[in-house]
């Protein structure tokens, strides 16, 4: 919205009162005129067939697949699927590639398929050829189907759901890469009303072209009505909206892989392992398909970047990739590359031995928090239950606390969630804390009282032995497996790996039965039915474990 008496000035609305006044004037204006309708015809060309990075990005955004899952499925499609003839058929070309090159026979086959399935207007006069990025290795083609006769619908019954989904986008992306441009009319409309000029831009698809095979998301496109200059549209309503500058969004699998490719980090075979590694080492966690740094990740990053600035930076990583290519091509000697790296790295390593503690102090100094018990400095620590705040005067002061990070990255001591349950030892209220195995109840008078107990989930089922309430529990040993027990423990010691079925055993009279993947069985190890099943090889005591 712009005052119409100037072409350059765009009014900045500073307050809500100012916005309300403009809204009042706009709503009170009786006449609006369409002063300009500008149309510009544009074309959009298809993207090249998939390479490793773009396949992982598209599978992430369209199918919600992680990079690791995408590559595992693609590996199966490459190795071959039995299509009913008793032998495996490889459905796609090699899936670890950064080349967009396609064999001429495959291009011709795609063009024949386009003409047959979509018609001649979808087929450009000449085949399309795509230029690979600098440094790409053309030993392999782009990722494409091995045979155009094996369209996704015709072989769907031989594929798992995830195999079909991935093969489908590979097939359609390759077909689309040889199709005609999509054509749009981009329209800009200007409407004057009183002292204000309103402008909006939208587009209309005139010809779908390649998008007939591989549609692109156009949910955010603005579709404008057909208007002409001089028209006097009626104002239906005017609304106000406040917009804030948004920070860069968190990385997803797709955007992180795109960034790795853009910055020259890694190779097609390493994109998925890189993402998997930072998750498995607990440097990041995935929440709602987006990556968030963990406290361990933050700490390790600051510590290593501070100690090894020459090595831990994007430019160094990309430079090493170029050096490795030069060695492979015979343009440089590997001993020279290793010598150059080792000289710098050994210097950084010697320096780090003396500065690592100082860097750690700098990281903890950013917390600027004091111990509420003794007034000492609080520092970041890591234990079996994860990161926590502890007093720097430990062991003289044993204060510890969980913490949370605010939106601006600062740290706040986490206040335990209060409950209405009381401590069995001292009668004080219990609070919810987070430990190695999740949430648990602890006495609010800790450390004076160290009483704790598990948080149990009550179930809508009764104990088959005493009629008490069944609850969900976790074992304290081994892998912390879930089991079902009685609320009246230790008076009633009922425990089961699965929910009991409320029916008795016809062979031994056990008051309940159990069910696992292999069927219904009796929990009584001395039951005759279990003995007969063992003899037949149909059951074992493993069901009870």
Q: How far is CA 54 from CA 60, 66, 169, 188, 378, in A?
A: 10, 13, 11, 33, 45
Residue 69 in any domain: the answer is no
Count of the separate structural domains present in the chain: 3
Cα–Cα dist 451/453, whole Å: 7
Helix, strand, coil percentages, rounded to 5, for the chain: 30, 25, 45
pLDDT tops 50 at residue 48: yes
Residue 537 banded pLDDT, cuts 50, 70, 90: very low
Residue 51 in any domain: the answer is no
Same domain, 265 and 358: yes
Both tokens of residue 61?
Answer: 């955004």
Q: Where are the alpha helices (DSSP H) in 270-313?
A: 271-280, 295-307
Of 9, 94, 342, 489, catalytic: 94
CATH of residue 323: 1.10.460.10
CATH of residue 31: 2.70.20.10
Can you give the residue range of the structural domain that contains 10?
Answer: 2-46+182-212
pTM of the predicted protein model: 0.67
Among the candidates 334, 364, 394, a domain finishes at: 364
Residue 127 banded pLDDT, cuts 50, 70, 90: very high
The average pLDDT across 2-30 equals 70
Same domain, 263 and 358: yes
pLDDT for the residue 438: 66
Residue 422 in any domain: the answer is no
Strand duo 403-405 + 514-516: pairing: unpaired
Cα–Cα dist 185/221, whole Å: 12
Residue 100 banded pLDDT, cuts 50, 70, 90: very high
Q: How far is CA 154 from CA 150, 159, 167, in A?
A: 6, 10, 12
Burial of 126 by CB count in 10 Å (0-12 exposed, 13-18 middle, 19+ buried)? exposed
Cα–Cα dist 311/325, whole Å: 19
Residue 428 in any domain: the answer is no
Task: Give tens-digit pLDDT for 165-185.
Answer: 999 999 999 999 999 999 998
Same domain, 260 and 206: no
| One-character DSSP codes across 132-173 | PPTT--TTS--B-BS-TT--HHHHGGGS-HHHHHHHHHHHHH
Task: Give tens-digit pLDDT for 434-446.
Answer: 766 667 888 988 8
pLDDT for the residue 246: 74
Average confidence score pLDDT of the chain: 85
Residue 6 banded pLDDT, cuts 50, 70, 90: very low
Same domain, 257 and 206: no
The average pLDDT across 88-92 equals 95
For residue 148, cis peptide bond before it (omega within 30 degrees of 0)? no
Task: Give tens-digit pLDDT for 182-233.
Answer: 999 888 999 988 888 888 888 888 999 999 999 987 766 777 777 888 888 8
CA angle 137, 141, 146 (to 5 degrees): 160
Residue 38 in any domain: the answer is yes
Same domain, 195 and 268: no
Strand duo 495-496 + 378-383: pairing: unpaired
Residue 285 in any domain: the answer is yes
Q: What 3-state class would DSSP assign to 532?
A: helix
Same domain, 194 and 258: no
Letter string b/e over residues 372-396, b meaning 16 or more CB atoms within 10 A of that residue's CB: eeeebbbbbbeeeeeebbbbbbeee
Residue 468 in any domain: the answer is no
Same domain, 257 and 358: yes
Task: Give tens-digit pLDDT for 334-372.
Answer: 999 899 888 888 888 888 877 888 888 777 777 788 888
Same domain, 291 and 203: no
Is 94 noted as a catalytic residue in this protein? yes
Residue 136 in any domain: the answer is no
Cα–Cα dist 233/29, whole Å: 12
Same domain, 276 and 187: no
């Amino acid at each position: 919205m712009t005052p119409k008496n100037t072409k350059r000035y765009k009014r900045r609305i500073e307050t809500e009162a100012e916005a309300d006044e403009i809204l009042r004037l706009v709503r009170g204006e009786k006449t609006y005129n369409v002063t300009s309708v500008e149309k510009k015809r544009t074309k959009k060309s298809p993207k090249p067939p998939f390479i490793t990075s773009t396949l992982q990005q598209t599978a992430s955004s369209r199918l919600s697949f992680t990079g690791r899952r995408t590559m595992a499925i693609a590996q199966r499609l490459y190795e071959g699927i039995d299509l009913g003839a008793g032998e495996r058929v490889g459905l796609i070309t090699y899936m670890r590639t950064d080349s967009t090159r396609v064999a001429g026979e495959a291009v011709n086959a795609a063009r024949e398929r386009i003409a047959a399935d979509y018609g001649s207007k979808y087929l450009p006069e000449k085949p399309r050829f795509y230029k690979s990025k600098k440094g790409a290795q053309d030993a392999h083609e782009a990722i494409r189907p091995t045979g155009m006769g094996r369209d996704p619908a015709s072989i769907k019954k031989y594929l798992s759901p995830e195999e079909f989904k991935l093969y489908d986008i590979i097939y359609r992306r390759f077909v689309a890469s040889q199709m005609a441009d999509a054509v749009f009319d981009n329209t800009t409309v200007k409407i004057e009303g009183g002292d204000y000029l309103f402008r909006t831009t939208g587009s209309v698809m005139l010809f779908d072209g390649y998008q007939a095979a591989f549609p692109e998301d156009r949910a955010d496109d603005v579709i404008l009505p057909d208007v002409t200059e001089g028209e006097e549209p009626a104002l239906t309503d005017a609304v106000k909206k406040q917009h804030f500058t948004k920070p860069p969004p968190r990385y997803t699998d797709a955007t992180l892989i795109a960034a790795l490719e853009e910055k020259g980090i890694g190779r097609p075979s390493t994109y998925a392992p890189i993402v998997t590694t930072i998750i498995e080492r607990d440097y990041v966690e995935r929440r709602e398909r987006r990556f968030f740094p963990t406290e361990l990740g933050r700490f390790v990053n600051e510590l290593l970047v501070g100690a090894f600035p020459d090595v831990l930076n994007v430019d160094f990583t990309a430079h090493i990739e170029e050096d490795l290519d030069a060695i492979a091509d015979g343009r440089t000697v590997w001993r020279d590359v290793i010598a150059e790296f080792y000289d710098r790295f050994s210097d950084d390593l010697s320096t780090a031995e003396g500065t690592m503690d100082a860097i750690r102090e700098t990281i903890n100094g950013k917390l600027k928090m004091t111990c509420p018990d003794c007034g000492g400095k609080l520092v970041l620590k890591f234990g079996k239950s994860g990161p926590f705040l502890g007093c720097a005067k430990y062991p003289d002061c044993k204060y510890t606390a969980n913490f949370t990070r605010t939106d601006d990255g600062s740290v706040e001591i986490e206040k335990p969630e209060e409950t209405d349950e009381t401590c069995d030892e001292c009668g004080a209220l219990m609070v919810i804390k987070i430990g190695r195995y999740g949430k648990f109840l602890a006495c609010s008078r800790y450390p004076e009282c160290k009483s704790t107990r598990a948080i149990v989930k009550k179930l809508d089922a009764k104990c088959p032995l005493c009629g008490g309430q069944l609850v969900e529990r976790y074992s304290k040993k081994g892998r912390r497996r879930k089991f079902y027990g009685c609320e009246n423990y230790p008076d009633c010691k009922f425990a089961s790996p699965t929910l009991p079925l409320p029916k008795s055993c016809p062979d031994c009279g056990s008051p309940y039965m159990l069910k696992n993947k292999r069927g219904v069985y009796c929990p009584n190890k001395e039951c005759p039915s279990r003995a007969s099943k063992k003899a037949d090889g149909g059951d074992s005591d493993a069901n009870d474990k």
